[in-house]
Amino acid sequence: CLWVRNLRHKRRLPGPFPWPVVGNAMQLGQMPHITFSKLAKKYGDIYQIRLGCNDIVVLNGGTVIRQALIQHSTEFAGRPNFVSFQVVSGGNSMTFSNYSKRWKMHRKIAQSTIRAFSSANSQTKRAFEQHIFGEALDLVQAFLRLSADGWYFNPSHELTVAAANVICALCFGKRYGHNDSEFRTLLGKVDKFGQTVGAGSLVDVMPWLQSFPNPVRSVFQNFKDLNKEFFAFVKDKVVEHRETYNPEVTRDMSDAIIGVIDRADRETGLTEAHTEGTVTDLIGAGLDTVSTALHWILLLLVKYPHIQSKLQEQIDKVVGRDRLPSMEDKSSLAYLDAFIYETMRFTSFVPVTIPHSTTSDVTIQGVHIPKDTVVFINQWSVNHDPQKWKDPHVFNPSRFLDENGALDKDLTSSVMIFSTGKRRCIGDQIAKVEIFLFSAILLHQCSFENCPKQDLTLDCTYGLTLKPLNFKIAAKLRGNQT
Ligand code: HEM
């Protein structure tokens, strides 16, 4: 066990007492990131917990996390070989595979494909923004339809369709209607994905739970089924692309990935199965995260109507009512940018990253951590550190603005939601463009109102992403529309 090994290195890793069989699993509670932060107050920013048969190191706070993921980037770049990770993306996921030469090649391909279709040059930038414009305007129409005759609606499904369509357009050159029933069923399943992959998945730390009937086994069976179905959906589209592939014309990201991986030097270890795995990774990562961000944004806009009005005033002043907002307006819309950063900080809706593991023995802050140790990175603790943030539990976008109303770049770079280091999110830039444009267009076109007598709580459900509980709103078309 880690404790004994650390004794040998003269420093024992602190942490709560682990119970037999389950370890500390029953102490994590509904919101493990909050428990992790409380434990950090008692044991320091680096401590150990035991979940089932795994000793897990939990890292907290900006200093320790950046030291680990940046200064010791290779040592902390691994992924554990959890059973749940092996069923994602047909077993050929880049996101869930361990650090290796093949993984490095795989990540580089995924990263350069995203860049090629979003920011490589002014033409791709424009094409990407056009996809978002189209989806944002469709979303406005869907919201207005759902608000007809004074109705109030839950925006969750429409937001998922909007975010899914942006990434589907990039990957397949195809989008789906808001009422497409096949797509609706598929997206409903993806919603459940994060509940198993988040920190503290019991079947990963107690794999023997798979061998007899129990509630954890049935959750895991559902997880396997949903991954299989999602992978089958993507594979089907990739196979269609492969059959009609023309090396002279790259239609979308699927073609680009086919072009690189299918024809990759076999020495890299990448095969056609990795092509399908990569596209599944990108679609899976691109829809749940962005739609969750937009979900929180709508909740916060109706919870704080004075902030909504202030945002609209600034947008109207900069953009006017005769055209729609674009990325070129971003530098003049500092308050909107500040509002988005504060949403990411305050909600920390990816509270703990995907679990990491150590690729070799490593020592940080005098603490020895052996190779193949599972590591949880508590991003929530970085965003709620009272040493860094004044009143961290208060939602206040203005904290990111200096006395001239400009964005404080030092402070925005202290927010951690995309992780950092070798496993940093590769979709961060496209996610930021999507969130900015969707928010700007929604605010320019609509006003959002809370359902009368609805008490808007900031409580959420826990998983890989934190999601707001169900709430209903109405969207009203704003005057002098374009
Ligand atoms: C990984 C956050 C959107 C693709 C991650 C990780 C986080 C994250 C926390 C795990 C990093 C780690 O384990 O240390 C987010 C947030 C998003 C977002 C908050 C939206 C607001 C996207 C989008 C895409 C994407 C739009 C692509 C289309 C990926 C991939 C990985 C990843 C492929 C795996 C990287 C690896 O394991 O090397 N993201 N993400 N993400 N993200 Fe995102």
Distance (angstroms) between ligand 1 centre and the Cα of 282 equals: 9
Task: Please report the sign of the dihedral spanned by the C-alpha atoms of residue 312, residue 317, residue 320, residue 324.
Answer: negative
List, in order, residues 6 or more apart from 220 with CB less than 8 Å away.
83, 84, 196, 203, 209, 210
Is residue 473 within 8 Å of 450, Cβ to Cβ? yes
Q: Report the alpha-carbon distance of residue 189 to residue 187 in Å, rounded.
A: 5
Which of 72, 168, 289 has most ligand 1 atoms within 8 Å of its beta carbon, as the pocket-test mutant?
289
Say how far residue 402 (Cα) sits from the centre of its chain. Answer: 28
Per the document, the length of the chain is: 482
Percent helix, strand, coil in the chain, to 5, is 55, 10, 35
- Name every residue whose Cβ is closer than 8 Å to that of residue 208 and which is 6 or more positions away in sequence: none
Q: Which residue is closest in CA terms to ligand 1's atom 42?
A: 425
Q: Whole-prediction pTM value?
A: 0.94
- Confidence at residue 436, expressed as pLDDT on a 0 to 100 scale: 98
Residue nearest to atom 22 of ligand 1 (CA): 427
Structure tokens that stand for 21 in this block: 């069989």
Instruction: Indicate which atom in ligand 1 lies nearest the CA of residue 422.
Output: 38
Which atom of ligand 1 has the smallest separation from the CA of 356?
A: 13
Q: Specify the 3-state DSSP secondary structure of 50.
A: strand
Q: Which residues are annotated as a binding site for heme?
A: 425
Residue 190 confidence (pLDDT)? 72
Q: pLDDT tens, position by position, for the chain (482 residues)?
A: 555 555 555 455 899 988 888 888 888 888 889 999 999 999 999 999 998 888 999 999 999 999 999 999 999 999 999 888 888 888 889 999 999 999 999 999 999 999 998 988 899 999 999 999 999 999 999 999 999 989 999 999 999 999 999 999 999 988 888 888 878 777 877 766 666 666 556 666 666 666 666 677 777 787 888 888 888 888 999 999 999 999 899 999 999 999 888 777 677 788 888 999 999 999 988 878 999 999 999 999 999 999 999 999 999 999 999 999 999 999 999 999 999 999 999 999 999 999 999 999 999 999 999 999 999 999 999 999 999 999 999 999 999 999 999 999 999 999 999 999 999 999 999 999 999 999 999 999 999 999 998 988 888 887 778 889 989 999 999 976 44
| Closest protein CA for atom 5 of ligand 1 | 425
pLDDT at 303: 96
**Residues 6+ away with beta carbon under 8 Å from 8:** none
- Binding-site annotation, residues: 425
With the most atoms of ligand 1 within 8 angstroms of its CB, the residue from 350, 425, 426, 436 to mutate is: 425
Handedness of CA 74, 94, 417, 51 (dihedral sign): negative
Q: Where are the alpha helices (DSSP H) in 26-179?
A: 32-43, 62-66, 101-118, 122-146, 156-172
Q: Would you state the pLDDT for residue 15?
A: 93
Cβ atoms within 10 Å, residue 275: 25
Q: What residues flank ligand 1, with Cβ below 6 Å?
A: 95, 107, 110, 167, 281-282, 285-286, 289-290, 293, 350, 353-354, 417-419, 423, 425-427, 430-431
| Res 10: pLDDT | 44
Evaluate whether ipTM surpasses 0.85. yes
Question: In this structure, what token pair is assigned to residue 294?
Answer: 């937009």
Q: What is the pLDDT of residue 151?
A: 94
Instruction: Name 209's Cβ contacts closer than 8 Å, sequence gap at least 6.
Output: 202, 203, 216, 217, 220
How far does residue 284's CA lie from ligand 1's centre (Å)? 10
| Residue 357 β-bridge partners | 78, 374
For 378, phi and psi rounded to 5 degrees? -90, 90
State CA 285 to chain mean position distance: 7
338 alpha carbon – ligand 1 mean position (Å) = 21
Centre of ligand 1 to C-alpha 427, Å, is 6
How many whole angstroms from 430 Cα to the centroid of ligand 1?
11
Assigned token pair, 60: 């907290």
Residue 405 class from Cβ within 10 Å (0-12 exposed, 13-18 middle, 19+ buried)?
A: exposed
Instruction: Please tell me the distance between residue 197's alpha carbon and the centre of ligand 1 in angstroms.
Output: 13
